[in-house]
Structure formats: structure tokens, C-alpha cells
Homo-oligomer: A and B are copies of this chain.
Amino acid sequence: MPQDTAVVALSGGMDSCVCTAIAVREHVLAVLHLNYGQRTERRELRAFREIADFYEVPSELRLEVSVEHLRKIGGSSLVDRRIPLRTSGVEDGQVPSSYVPFRNAHILAIAVSWAEVLGARYVYIGANERDSSGYPDCREEFYRAFQQVVDLGTKPGAGIRIATPLIRLTKAEIIRQGNELGAPFELTWSCYAEEERACGVCDSCRLRLKGFAEAGLRDPIAYAR
């Protein structure tokens, strides 16, 4: 029987879904979703809700948050349609146009505030360094540094731990682990561009398809091409 509550950042993508599948083995789930004006906001929200339903998370342990200011601030092709999404492939060492400046710090700040109020001792986030898109806020060091901030910036005794169970895995390993844990991949949404059928060519679709191919598994969602 799970004891401690864990706040899980659940975007509705594949990684956050596997992260949820990992967290639910040991914790009571409290799931957090951010709408931040990204192109596929509505579709991701639907994925969040369906995954939360799948894991039978009660309404008081679901938090949907709108952070309008990330769109206001701009600077990313995910929130600013004037900046083109890259479809040419993931280069090494480049920070792509889809990078939302410092976004994961916002997710963690909200998750930690909520964890502190709930008395939850864990915050799970499905960040992944190895097969990430090259975002600086997906690196393991970033989460280690944020742990320090949490230790210093929360009430004495809050004792909140940030867990990044996917940080060192390849996409294929994430998919295999999700598969073993029965993660509902059919409910997830990864595409940056479309909300009806995944485009298959944006960075996020490419990483997902490559991961399924390498894992030798079939991606259950539909693609436009």
C-alpha cells in the first residue's frame, strides 16, 4: 500500500506518463499539469486528464495550472507561432527553437509549492538528459542544483525530494520500462505541432518514433505521415 504522496509533473507526453507509472508503484499520486500557451495545449490537457483517469487520481489530487506568462514572455517556437518549429532533425549541441526559456524551473516551483502544502515528500519529473532535445533545463545537474534550492527555500522539515527516474535512460529504455509497467501510451501526446494526428516530423515525434523503433515496440498512436 503506497504511503507518501508524490506530486508528479504530468504533461501528457510519453516520458511523464512513464514517470507516473513508476511513481504509482510507491506513492499516492498527486498530478500536476501546466497549460502555458503551447501550440498543442488542448491536446496535452486531454492526455493529462485521460492518464489521470487511467490511474484513478481523485480530483483533489489533480492540479491544472495556467501559466499565461510563458506565452507573454515568448522566445520559443512552442509558444510563439511566428518562430518556426524545426522539422529537420535533432542536431547535437544545439538548443532548438522549441526550447521554452527556463520552463522546467516553473514546473518545479509549482510542484514544490503544492507538495509543501499537501505534505508530499516527493516531486517526480520525467526529464531526460540522454535523448532530450538539448534543452539546458533537462540536465541532471540542473535537478541536483534545484534540490538545493528546495532544501533551502521550503519550511524546515518539509523534506521534499525531487525524483528524476528517467534522467539517464534512452528513449528506448523509457519505452521498454513503460511497457513493462503497463503505462497507457495510447493516451499520451508528444507532437509539438498538431492536435488531431501527430505530425511525425517535429523533434518530439522524431524522438518518440526513434525510441519505439529501437525498443522494438509499436507506437499505438496515429501519425499523419
Chain A contacts to B: CB under 8 angstroms = 63, 65-70, 72-75, 95, 99-106, 108-110, 112-114, 116-117, 136-137, 139, 141-142, 145-146, 148-156
B73 touches A156 (CB 8 A): no
B102 touches A69 (CB 8 A): no
Known: A73-B117, A110-B69, A113-B73. Is A153-B102 also a contact (CB below 8 A)? yes
Known: A102-B109, A142-B153, A153-B104. Is A69-B75 also a contact (CB below 8 A)? no
Shortest distance in angstroms between A107's beta carbon and chain B's nearest beta carbon?
9
Closest-by-CB residue of B relative to A152 is: B142
Picked from B70, B74, B109, B156, the residue with its CB within 8 Å of the CB of A105 is: B109
B153 touches A137 (CB 8 A): yes
Closest-by-CB residue of B relative to A80 is: B117
